[in-house]
Amino acid sequence: MKSNVETIQEFYNNKNLPVNLQQEPGQFNVFRIEDCVGKNGTPAKYSRRDFYKISLVRGSNIYHYADKSIETKGSTLIFFNPQVPYTLHAKDDSDDNTGFFCIFKEFFFTEKLRGGIGDLPMFMPGNKPSYSLSTEQDKHVSQIFQKMIDELNSDYRFKYDLIRNYVTELVHYALKMEATETLYQHTDANTRIASIFAELLERQFPIESPSQRFTMRSAQDFAEKLSIHVNHLNRALKTTTGKTTSHHIAERITSEAKALLKHSNWNIAEISYCLGFEEAAHFNNFFKKQTETTPTAFRSA
């Protein structure tokens, strides 16, 4: 399975926005939502992006995030991260489609934020990313976004350092609030869980060097990443695919093992290590169970 990831370049193209990739390595940009609607761009798809996005949205909207479908009313501050597929659309044809959003690559914070932005609660896959705002809170958050716009258009030498501070202010403003959401039971909730699982699994491949290692190898590993019980994950995958979590993991490891055996000159021990096996003998037993042949015999066939 190939991951469906929208790049920041594709975002500009899909929205029919002028391509304006900033020279700053983090490619930060900020927009008013009302300046982007009516562009007749490609409708947003339920997929991962390769950039972070923070949005202040107003009106009645529904966003699909991980395995949840969540309704927002009034003003809502939402944090989207590259690890989790999402899409957002207006619930009705209301004209109140206003607000702001900023986008940036992880590098924008790599050297500035201790531990990385992905470690913050609102950007972690299993946590709640939405924060309902009162009128006063909306005013405060809007002012922060407006400062970003003003600074981005300035010629101040250190404007990106200042913009980083504004983004950090948004983060801490949200962290002091209680995340709120209204969940809707959807018949495709299991499908969404299966989709996230597939993304997490596939993201670990291909193995491109002997030093790279496949680390998420058990159903429990994936369940913890998704913040759901392992039984919930197994049921979702069994319902949507007819296969267990362990079956999917074993199939993907086997597929990668075959590729490495046929298309690399790494020895069996190196391949075993890359695929997460502590001993080459364990890999041999696994491969033979899956294919009814040994790694050495498969390579020489």
Sign of CA dihedral 51, 56, 59, 63: positive
DSSP at 44 = P
User: What CATH number did the domain enclosing 176 receive?
Assistant: 2.60.120
| Residues of the chain under the 50 pLDDT cut | 1-3, 181-187
171 and 35, same domain (yes or no): yes
53 and 103, same domain (yes or no): yes
180 and 193, same domain (yes or no): no
81 and 229, same domain (yes or no): no
18 and 161, same domain (yes or no): yes
Structure tokens given for 169:
């202010």
CA distances to 14, 61, 194, 204 from 2, in Å: 20, 29, 14, 12
pLDDT of res. 287: 96
What SS3 state is found at 30?
strand
Looking at the structure of the chain, the number of domains it has is 2
236 and 278, same domain (yes or no): yes
Q: Which residue, of 184, 206, 236, is where some domain finishes? A: 184
- Specify whether the CB–CB gap between 58 and 74 falls below 8 A: yes
- Specify whether the CB–CB gap between 10 and 50 falls below 8 A: no
First to last CA, the chain: 26
Q: Which residue, of 184, 200, 219, is where some domain finishes? A: 184
User: What CATH number did the domain enclosing 269 receive?
Assistant: 1.10.10.60
230 and 161, same domain (yes or no): no
pLDDT of res. 289: 96
233 and 157, same domain (yes or no): no
pLDDT of res. 252: 92
12 and 101, same domain (yes or no): yes
Q: Find the domain containing 260 and state its range.
A: 189-300
Measured distance CA(89)–CA(97) in Å, rounded: 10
Q: What is the reported pTM?
A: 0.58
Strand pairing report for 99-104 and 68-72:
unpaired
171 and 199, same domain (yes or no): no
pLDDT of res. 1: 34
Q: Which residue, of 119, 151, 184, is where some domain finishes? A: 184
122 and 104, same domain (yes or no): yes
169 and 252, same domain (yes or no): no
What's the maximum distance between 2 C-alpha atoms anywhere in the chain?
70
The C-alpha R_g of the chain, in whole angstroms, comes to 22
Measured distance CA(69)–CA(152) in Å, rounded: 33
pLDDT of res. 185: 47
